[in-house]
Structure 1
């Protein structure tokens, strides 16, 4: 029995060593892979879409073994690079579903990736021992199948020990707090996060940025009105016990505009998180704060607009009691053609009170105000 244990430990050690070498030789420690200019995740996603016909989000998540928010950003990278496009099709249940297809540029990228991979495999086989090809295929296939069969989802409460810097002890973890009210730079950061994200997802350019700045700038000017409020997620430096103006970075925002949609109607806007802080429950905390303010002020209803593509965000709104109203047409010059906009409404129950959000997943969301009587965009996001 002790011998078998040592044998297993020895096998595991050799497998880990070989696996590390493979990952490094394949280039997975680099920012981009196979000379494509794409991240490893985006490259694999493009292969599945273009070579194997995996064209919908649920199937891509299943094949790539990623979460929904992770896939959204991979898709955004491929759309920004011009390698994929999407269209909408109706499912058997009557819902709309995004279908992804490679563009002509994407097909060219795929050809280059496949040529690179085939050349790498041929060169390795050329220097391998004679007749080693079949053994390599058998070993790879067997091990990949075994990994798949033995795969377990990582426990959410399992944490790694503190990282050690050479000679400097554990690296302190960043801390996050949600604060209300205007802070220096909150408008700039809100704009920066929105423009950075939607510039990739929907190729929104100068008209979008200008409209965004006008809409949020107007709300920021009116933020002292007790009917309006804004919250920020602050990323605090280790050891900074007080969320100071200078040492905390704004990594998320959400706004309530209690004026622009009429008396008794709140407008949920500017709900967004920085890419670096997803998966920490911060989106839920922002939403809870906003809906607590809705209760405090006593709005009879709250409205928001979001992109149909953002399914994680939509589920969060629905958990909070919002109901889909329908699709909304926006100016494609401003908002591009990639975003399919829709409106949600929350209405106060007779018994009063809203339901706190219990969804733990995070998202970025587009919330836009309505239009003036002349049809021009009055407030954006």
Structure 2
């Protein structure tokens, strides 16, 4: 069952985006053209040529709407219609020189709007926005095409040790936190050292690790260490995803396994340590019942951060 709050927040954000990006106006992107015409020009730039039928499928518009819009663009010299060299029964559309110039102006306008919107927020937030929008956009496309049942079928969640696991998980941590938070060798060395120590103890039934695998490559991980904290408490560790699968539900699948394991083992609590700013991860933790227990200034990752401890108490 989806959280109603999440549904409401996405709907509210979508309405704001539609207004702020100008889709309530009759014209778009500082042109004299409708949103559908602007998107037609952009699709032609991406594909060089396309048929009217293909365009209608991409834009989700009926044939009559496409026809009226194309007539205007052809009349204004933005596009031309030509016989398809591979199929005499079909005609293709392509941009004219004027059309390419119009698209250039549209792209300049669009890029400026994006820059103005995100230039004053940190790099992590910028990536979070890009990944979240990409995931939502793809989900909408899949919904229209009735493909929700095959999303992420190419990613498998497996449990236990896999050759190269220690190096790969350390690499994912180092790359992500270096690019987004400027962490250095101290952090990578600590991840590799702690994970190597844990791997020796994985035969203990209270310890386990899960890996997300795509094309035989590790693209995500999470572990439960049931020994290092004592007091019948579990430690959730090394939760990480590669850029290619963030914001796509893979993290939830990994945490489903980890938390299910904790409940099965009847740990009295699950603890995790992180730091402020990882909002997407925090939202996911909270959906699994974690709450912020403590917050302080620290440097356990080799850099001064606002560190946080989250706790999930067994109900």
**TM-score, normalization: structure 1?**
0.51
Report the CA distance shift for 1:270/1:17 in structure 2 as closer, same or farther (over 3 A).
Answer: same
Distance 2:174 2:133 in 1: 16
Counterpart of 2:302 (choices 313, 321, 335) is 335
1:295 is the counterpart of 2:274: no
- Spell out the pairing of 1:333-372 with structure 2 (5 A cutoff): 334-337=301-304, 339-349=305-315
- Residue 264 (str. 1) matches residue 228 (str. 2): no
Describe how 1:252-331 pairs up with structure 2 within 5 A.
252-331=220-299
Unaligned runs of 5+ in 1: 34-39, 74-152, 162-172, 237-247, 350-381
1:114-153 correspondence runs (5 A): none
Shift of 1:221: 1.5
SS at match of 1:329: strand
1:114-135 deviation digits (Å, cap 9, x = unpaired): xxxxxxxxxxxxxxxxxxxxxx
CA RMSD of the aligned region, Å?
3.9
Q: Could you list the per-position Cα deviations for residues 1-31 of structure 1 after superposition, in whole angstroms to 9, with x for gaps in the alignment? A: x999744332356478379735985797xxx
Which residue in 2 is equivalent to 1:157?
Answer: 143
Say which SS state the counterpart of residue 214 (structure 1) adopts. helix
Aligned twin of 1:179: 158
CA contact (8 A) 1:330 1:341 kept: yes
Greater relative CO, 1 or 2 (CA 8 Å, sep 6+)? 1
1:9 is the counterpart of 2:87: no
Equivalent residues, number: 225
CA change 1:255–1:5 in 2 (3 A) is closer
Q: What CA distance in whole angstroms lies between the structure 2 residues aligned with 1:198 and 1:159?
A: 36
Contact 2:295–2:308 (CA<8 Å) still a contact in 1?
yes
Equivalent-residue separation in structure 1 for 2:203 and 2:102 (angstroms): 54
* 1:47-83 Cα distance to aligned partner (Å, 9 max, x none): 4456xxx5589xx88xxxx96363799xxxxxxxxxx
The residue that corresponds to 1:37 in the other structure is none
Contact 1:253–1:271 under 8 Å retained in 2? yes
Greater fraction helix: 2
* Contact kept in structure 2, 1:252 and 1:273, CA below 8 Å: yes
* Structure-2 separation of matches of 1:11 and 1:160: 32
Distance 1:23 1:342, change over 3 A: farther
Secondary structure, counterpart of 2:281 in structure 1: helix
2:91 maps to: none
3-state SS of paired residue (2:95): helix
CA offset digits 1:129-148 (Å, max 9, x no partner): xxxxxxxxxxxxxxxxxxxx
Of 261-270 and 207-216, more deviation after overlay is shown by 207-216
Question: Gaps (5+ residues) in structure 2?
Answer: 1-62, 80-93
CA 1:293–1:329 in structure 2 vs 1: closer, same or farther (change >3 Å)? same
Structure 1 segment 71-86 matched on structure 2, within 5 A: none
Matched residue of 2:295: which SS?
A: strand
Alpha-carbon contact 1:68-1:312 (below 8 Å) kept = no
Structure 2 CA distance for partners of 1:55 and 1:195, relative to 1, 3 Å: closer
- 1:366 matched to which residue of 2? none
Normalised by the size of structure 2, how large is the TM-score?
0.60
